[in-house]
Amino acid sequence: MQRNINLSKMVATILLLLFFDYRRKFLDYAGGYGVFVRLMHDIGFDFYWYDKYIQNLFARGFEYDESMKGEIEAITCVEAFEHFANPIEEIEKMLSISKNIIFTTELLPNPIPKPQDWWYYTLEDGQHISFYSSKMLDFIAQKYGLKYVNLRIYLLKKE
């Protein structure tokens, strides 16, 4: 819960002060139980929820609908990139909804650590299966005509 509270404050700051039209619609992709969406609504943002695996418990009534395509200013994606079995497919799906993605993940250290030397591999449960370096995120951004901005919360944004 605390992670969602902290993140809602950081994302609200980004939406209000830095890059986006805060009066538009936003989508939390892979939104889990909907806690983050609920918090963003409580702050005053028009946020919607989407998750193909988990039931929305806290943001009912704010589910994303395909008819909203083109209306979404930015997508948030919290700690989900590392779970994608096919990251490019997921990123392309997000980019079909909005050209702006705000996401969090742990970047792959340089040099790349051995499996036993980095906690983020989560070898005991195998849930983290995709890993990213700053160089890879910059490559992905360039591939889609976006700009990668590292604020420790990462952005793929249409220039």
Its domain, for residue 73, covers 1-80+93-106+141-159
Burial class (CB within 10 angstroms; exposed 0-12, middle 13-18, buried 19+) of 71: middle
- The domain that holds 53 is classified in CATH as 3.40.50.150
Task: Tell me if 4 is assigned to some domain.
Answer: yes
Task: Tell me if 158 is assigned to some domain.
Answer: yes
Task: Tell me if 126 is assigned to some domain.
Answer: no
Tally the domains of the chain. Answer: 1
Task: Tell me if 1 is assigned to some domain.
Answer: yes
111 prior amide bond cis, ω within 30: yes
pLDDT, tens digit (0-9, with 9 covering 90-100), for 24-67: 999 999 999 999 999 999 999 999 999 999 999 999 999 999 99
Length of the chain: 159
Task: Tell me if 125 is assigned to some domain.
Answer: no
Task: List the chain pLDDT tens, one digit each, 159 residues.
Answer: 888 999 999 999 989 887 799 999 999 999 999 999 999 999 999 999 999 999 999 999 999 999 999 999 999 999 999 999 999 999 999 999 999 999 999 999 999 999 999 999 988 887 899 999 999 999 999 999 999 988 765 556 666
Task: Tell me if 120 is assigned to some domain.
Answer: no
Task: Tell me if 52 is assigned to some domain.
Answer: yes
Task: Tell me if 128 is assigned to some domain.
Answer: no
